Structure 1
Amino acid sequence: MQDIAAGLQGSDPLLRFSNLNITGVALANLINAVYGYLDWIAQQAVPITSSGEYLAMWAALKNVFQKTAAQSTGAVTFPGTNGEDLPSGTPITRGDGVGYTTTADATVSAGSVTAPAICNADPTGQTGAFGNCAEGTTFTLATAIDGIQSGGMASTDFTGGADIESPDDLMTRMLQAYQNVPQGGDAQDYVTWALAVPGVTRAWSNPSGFGVGTVVVYTMFDVAEAGDGGFPQGVNGVATNEARSPTKATEDLLAVANAIFTEQPATALVWSCAPAPNPIPFTFTGTSEWSAATKADVKDAIASVFLQYGAPVTNTIPTIALSLIESEVAAIAGTEGFVITSPAVNIPNVIGQLPTIGTVSFT
């Protein structure tokens, strides 16, 4: 309005019903939209503030690509008559209606048949974690098969399902790639390669962990394996095509080993391993007035610190400062006056182990 008043001497664009007032408001809205668009363009001009397709393009310049959704796999068992066949491709349904498909032929023996199966892919390509379920989950044959009962169950856990990578996680991996120039197989390179595997949320490397010439890579699947505390499933070992060791990894750990095998230096013997849980007990005093919800929030706060600072290696963060846990708990409403009596010192990270919450006592 001031520009109109200055440009048109004697006009009064501030009058409520004047044409100039209406014109001024319309122009102001247009200019605001133009500057907003310019601000958005500026954000896409650098990796750290980019979003959407521009984030994907900035990441691609560092050979970092959004991880696709992955489908869970496991095995199912159905009672039946000996000798009857359960063919590959048979549709089966979980108790809540989620569809799966068998992936290999199987024959009834000793009164039952066990077949590997995979969760049917989400048509949108966005989700996959919905297919994870525990051993013993109820399954039903979607089509009748002579000699095989329709009701069965999962004979193993269904694991490995993961949703498409979120923009925030893609941003984290992209920035890590920009900040850590590839060194042809240094410790950080193994972490970068492991994090590119669908389902992997955290990774660490331990050079010479099993002796000279070896590299031990630890991973966590915090979402895909949430039912198991985020710990990857399978046997520790090496990639399928690694001829220097007969100990082959399986399940989640094999997926990591095989992915790294195509990237690693030829001389390195890489082991894909799951960290072992290291339960840390806690004792709080001054908590007699705490509600059940407050106690649950305190446990979540401890878990948050462990998630950020816990590691199965000591070359990055050797200890978890107890003060970090105290500050997180103190930030929870209603926790004034508490004292952590155990542990009494900073919590050390231990090679091969990952700190988890043990018994928590409130007194």
Structure 2
Amino acid sequence: MVFSRPTLTSLRSQVAADIAAGLPGLNALLRYNNLNILGDVEAGLVDGCYGYLDWITQQSVPFTSEDEFLEGWAALKGVTRKPAVAATGNVTLNGTGGIVPAGTALTRSDGANFTVDADVELVGGVAVVAVTAIATGAASNTVLGTTLSLAAAISGVNSLGTVSAAISGGSDVERDDDLRTRMITEYSRPASGGSANDYVNWALSIPGVTRAWCERNVFGSGTVGVLFMMDDVRAEHGGFPQGTNGVASAETRGTPATGDQLIIANALFELQPVGPIVFGRACTANTVNLTIAGIADATDTTKTAIAAAFAAALLSTAIPGGSTPLSAIEGKIAAVSGATGFVITAISASAGAVTPGPTGNISSNLGALPVAGNITYV
């Protein structure tokens, strides 16, 4: 039976009734009577005790625990909170000549700071320097073409530089809800020596990875592919990893990956069984476009909500190489205020098929993930 915690009002009423019952024939609950005031104080103290017990109960099980208690429950299954990661990228500096020393500070217009990783000499008046954000977190991710300025002048080097390879990969410390989801998955599906679920859980434990899928025998017997998405740190690329597919640096039986795929492959190499050849693989986009009739005069607010519902429907059903039912899209859009009367008259998929007919279910090619494209109103 579920315990019903009494409210403060009910506690005050209960204490008042007990005082009155203990002093028959007297009006012990007058407005300024000490007993009345003491009764309210007692009720407040008891309510605080109930609150503390309620909090203890929440920390006593993995499903509702928070902060260090959540981390403690997760640690029992070997799941740890993903740390914040600093963004990295390249900046191009120009000038007449000279050397940009390691540790040189560069500043973004909003005050975010970056440092040069290694000494670089200007050749032909140009130097491309690798930089790392001083502060960890997604806030330091910087898009291509952003201007950075030298914090201190360097002889022969212009004070302004341009981001020539997006400063990315920065991620915030993992949130409680995300850690709890991974922890509960580990409790319900514990490691079993290299099952498909193991590869997914291992990939999800890597900072920046938000979704992952395992491909069996992707390039023949003894090969495993791990597809993944980085929805937060690669938001400027639609969440798709940046790099080339391949194996870990230490794996001699295949071509090493680069970029995000190499980070994943290297991390998995330390966890996987010794036999399989594991490939870090980025999903490709299956861009889905809709044509909707019947609500061409809908407001911009309604159309924005429909676009968000469309994207949410694809996200909730997204499986690389899988199928997305039309009913999932229609159900999400139907819930939007102002969308009454809509009719989806055509659907196109850039890396898949639509069957049966022009408004059927959407299938994606191998390794392709459905993402929301354009919506045309007629």
Q: Give the drift of 1:94.
A: 2.1
Once the two structures are TM-superposed, the CA of residue 97 in structure 1 deviates from its matched residue by 2.6
Among residues 316, 320, 325, which one is paired with 1:308 in the alignment?
316
Query: What CA distance in whole angstroms lies between the structure 2 residues aligned with 1:268 and 1:61?
Result: 28
Alignment correspondent of 2:356: none
Counterpart residue type for residue 152 of structure 1? G
Partner of 2:57: 42
Q: Which residue of 2 aligns with 1:249?
A: 257
User: Secondary structure of the residue that 1:325 maps to in structure 2?
Assistant: helix
Partner-residue secondary structure (3-state), 1:75: strand
| Residues 170-225 of structure 1 deviation map (CA, whole Å, 9 limit, x = unaligned) | 11111111111111110011111111111111111111112111111111111111
**What is the correspondence of 1:295-334 to structure 2 with a 5 Å cutoff?**
295-313=303-321, 318-334=322-338
Name the SS for the 1:248 alignment partner: coil
Q: Which residue of the partner structure matches residue 72 of structure 1?
A: 87
Shift of 1:147: 1.6
Gaps of 5+ in 1: 123-127
Give the structure with the larger strand fraction.
2
Q: How does 1:86-125 map to 2 (within 5 A)?
A: 86-122=100-136
SS at match of 1:74: strand
Task: Please say if residues 319 and 349 of structure 1, whose CA atoms lie closer than 8 Å, have aligned partners that are also in contact.
Answer: yes
Unaligned runs of 5+ in 2: 1-15, 348-358
Structure 2: distance between partners of 1:251 and 1:129: 17
Count matched residues: 352
Which region of structure 1 is more displaced relative to structure 2, 222-231 or 351-360? 351-360
**Equivalent in the alignment of 2:172:** 163
CA 1:5/1:354 → structure 2, altered by over 3 Å: closer, same or farther?
Answer: same
Structure-2 separation of matches of 1:3 and 1:28: 12
CA distance in 2, matches of 1:168, 1:286: 39
Is the counterpart of residue 224 in structure 1 residue 220 in structure 2?
A: no
Q: Answer yes or no: is 1:294 the counterpart of 2:302.
A: yes
- How far has the Cα of 1:95 moved from its partner? 3.3
Whole-Å separation in 2 of the counterparts to 1:256 and 1:8 = 74
Q: Distance in 2 between matches of 1:24 and 1:347?
A: 66
Distance of 1:241 and 1:8 partners within structure 2: 83
CA distance in structure 2 between the partners assigned to 1:300 and 1:362 by the alignment: 15
Q: Following TM superposition, by how much is the alpha carbon of 1:255 offset from its aligned partner in structure 2, in angstroms?
A: 1.5
**Could you tell me how far 1:227 is from its partner in structure 2?**
0.7
TM-aligned CA deviation for residue 348 of structure 1: 2.0
| Equivalent of residue 277 in structure 2, options 269, 272, 282 | 269
For 2:203, the aligned partner's letter is A
2 CA distance for matches of 1:165 and 1:206?
26
Give 1:110 shift. 2.2
65-74 vs 5-14, which moves further: 5-14
Shift of 1:360: 1.3
Amino acid at match of 1:107: E
Query: What is the CA–CA distance in structure 2 between the aligned matches of 1:190 and 1:179, rounded to whole Å?
Result: 15
AA at the equivalent of 1:116? A
State the Cα deviation string for residues 20-65 of structure 1 (Å, max 9, x = none). 2212111111111111111111111110011121111111111111
Task: Tell me how far apart the structure 2 counterparts of residues 51 and 254 of structure 1 sit (CA, whole Å).
Answer: 33
Q: CA deviation digits over 1:123-149, x for unaligned, max 9? A: xxxxx1111122211122212111211
Q: How does 1:135-150 map to 2 (within 5 A)?
A: 135-150=144-159
Which of 128, 132, 141 is the matching residue for 2:141? 132
SS of 1:78's equivalent in the other structure is strand
Q: Per-residue deviation at 1:77?
A: 0.8
**TM-score, structure 1 normalization:** 0.93
TM-score, normalization by structure 2: 0.90
Q: From 181, 191, 210, give the equivalent of 1:201.
A: 210
Cα 1:45–1:349 change in 2 (3 A) is farther
Question: Given the alignment, which residue of 316, 327, 339 partners 1:335?
Answer: 339
Residue identity matched to 2:309: A
Q: Secondary structure at the match of 1:49?
A: coil
Q: Note if contact 1:138-1:152 (Cα within 8 Å) is conserved in structure 2.
A: yes
The alpha carbon displacement at 1:14 in A equals 3.7
**Is the 8 Å Cα contact of residues 286 and 364 (structure 2) preserved in structure 1?**
no
Q: By how many angstroms is 1:356 displaced?
A: 1.0
Task: Give the aligned CA root-mean-square deviation in angstroms.
Answer: 1.5
Conserved? CA contact 1:286–1:339, under 8 Å: yes
> 1:171, 1:85 → 2: CA distance?
48
Compared CA separation, residues 11 and 244, structure 1 to 2 (3 A)? farther
Deviation at residue 294 of structure 1 after TM alignment = 1.3
Distance 1:70 1:170 in 2: 16
Partner deviation per Cα, 1:254-303 (whole Å, 9 max, x = no partner): 22111111100000111111101111111111112211121111111111
State the partner residue of 2:4: none
Cα distance in 2, alignment partners of residues 153 and 338 from structure 1: 46
Question: Which 10-residue stretch deviates more, 88-97 or 259-268?
Answer: 88-97
**Structure 1 position 278 matched with structure 2 position 282:** no
Aligned residue for 2:118, secondary structure, equals coil
Contact 1:95 1:137 survives alignment (8 Å): no
